[in-house]
Amino acid sequence: MTTDLSVYLDQAQQAGAESAEVYYSRSFSRPVFFEANRLKQLESSESEGVALRLWKNGQAGLAVAYGPVEPEILVEKALALAALNPPNPPRFTAPRQDYRESLGEDVSVEQLIDWGQTAIASLRSEFAEVLCSGELACSTDSTRLINSEGLDCTWTERSLSYYFGVEWIRGEDFLAIYDGEQCRGQTNVGQVVENLRQRLLWVEVNQQIQGGKMPILLTSGAASLLWDTVGEALHGQRVAEDSSPWAEKLGQTVAIEELNISQDPTAIPFDCPFDDEGSRTQKLALIKNGKIAQFYTDHETAEKLGTTTTGNGFRPSLGSAPQPGLVNMLITPGTASFDQLLKKLGNGLVVDQILGGGADISGDFSINVDLGYRVQNGEITGRVKDTMVSGNIYELLNQIIALGSDRRWQGSCATPSIILDGVSITA
């Protein structure tokens, strides 16, 4: 594959295209895998691909190649696809040159192995019967976007990730617990181990819980049940299609006054200076004091809504055109520690891991609790099994009792633990 991306633009223009853009992606990773308490596998993986999108007679065609490809072949494919599509003119960001990088430490494979072995040994020193797995990796990702108008943007990032799983089999009782994080600066593998250790202590005894409506505490690991749906409801395309329940609620109250949700493209490790259309990303107040402050958009969606792009045009995959997507989502934390949240909950259920997906855009959900704990008199007294929780996300946003101070990254969402009132529990 040629690394001179301008060749694709030249070939497209020579073939009669009025406009064109080239998006290049490269990823390199060195993952280390542990299974059943032992080092299982070392890998070195590298991938690269290029996507050419061109316009002829106002019709857009997108062609993708992974590995070596002649520019002429990619141009021919894109032209053939353009002829099949309805007119959809290009919406280019103003031309500029923008080269950025955010590079964490380049951690060696030997160090990753040592961290993994130390973590597993620490857990098994107290819980000898558990089976531990893990995946640790140092990854470098680069993207570059150029177009026929003169835009040239390059972004390179290096990050570290470490995730561990613990399986505990006691007769017919099977338990799996997971924890980990992604970072670009200081690592804290020891804290992940301590999180797993604490959960193993909490589940040593099984408890029963009665069904009905009661308050529950979602840990940061389970709070994505709420925020995935909230993110979809704020999606500009959903709003333009009128498929979001919040399409007509800009500026209106949809949650308790204490709820604030934002995007911060400088928040490491999920930082990003510009989107896949070359537009600069920006800090966004999505929900402010319980009211919808704005929706997030790409160029095309913003045009439909009569606004300007918020710099949120991202490609779900190399073979997809940009569409609205968040860089990250930050839930403003409260002031209560996790122990204080337990005291406030009093008697109820803690949900730590869920099985399957959450709610759809309607907000309705009914999910199995993968890992949950009974709380009595403000203390965790044991694990709860065979339990489901159900409700509606939009209703629960107005039934938030408290937000914790324990905000953590879960994927690209930084969320604290949260207490919700009136959740239906089936046990």
Fold of the domain built from segment(s) 6-199: PmbA/TldD fold (3.30.2290)
Per-residue confidence in pLDDT tens, the chain, 427 aa = 567 999 999 999 999 999 999 999 999 999 999 999 999 999 999 999 999 999 999 999 999 999 888 999 999 999 999 999 999 999 999 999 999 999 998 999 999 999 999 999 999 999 999 999 999 999 999 999 999 999 999 999 999 999 999 999 988 889 999 999 999 878 899 999 999 999 999 999 999 999 999 999 999 999 999 999 999 999 999 999 999 999 999 999 999 999 999 999 999 999 999 999 999 999 999 999 999 999 999 999 999 999 999 999 999 999 999 999 999 999 999 999 999 999 999 999 999 999 977 889 999 999 999 999 999 999 999 999 999 999 999 999 999 999 999 999 999 999 999 999 999 999 8
Residue 57 burial (C-beta neighbours within 10 Å; 0-12, 13-18, 19+): exposed
In angstroms, what CA-CA distances link 356 with 172, 216, 366?
22, 19, 10
pTM more than 0.85: yes
Cα separation, 251 vs 361, whole angstroms = 20
**Residue 378 has what pLDDT?**
95
pLDDT tens-digit series, residues 49-75: 999 999 999 999 999 999 888 999 999
Taking the C-alpha atoms of residue 34 and residue 315, their distance in angstroms, rounded to an integer, is: 32
Question: Distance between CA 289 and CA 256 in Å, rounded?
Answer: 7
User: Cα dihedral sign for 408, 410, 413, 417?
Assistant: negative
pLDDT for residue 357: 76
The string over 91-118, giving b where at least 16 C-beta atoms fall within 10 Å of a residue's C-beta and e elsewhere, is: ebbeeeeeeeebebeebebeebeebbbe
Of 272, 363, 269, 290, nearest to 326 by C-alpha is: 272
Residues of the chain with CATH 3.30.2290.10: 6-199
State in Å, rounded, how far the first CA of the chain is from the last one.
56
Please report which helix (H) or strand (E) contains residue 370, including its range. strand 364-376
339, 341, 347, 352: CA torsion to nearest 10: -80
- 324's CB contacts (< 8 A; 6+ apart) are 235, 236, 237, 296, 297, 298, 301, 312, 313, 314
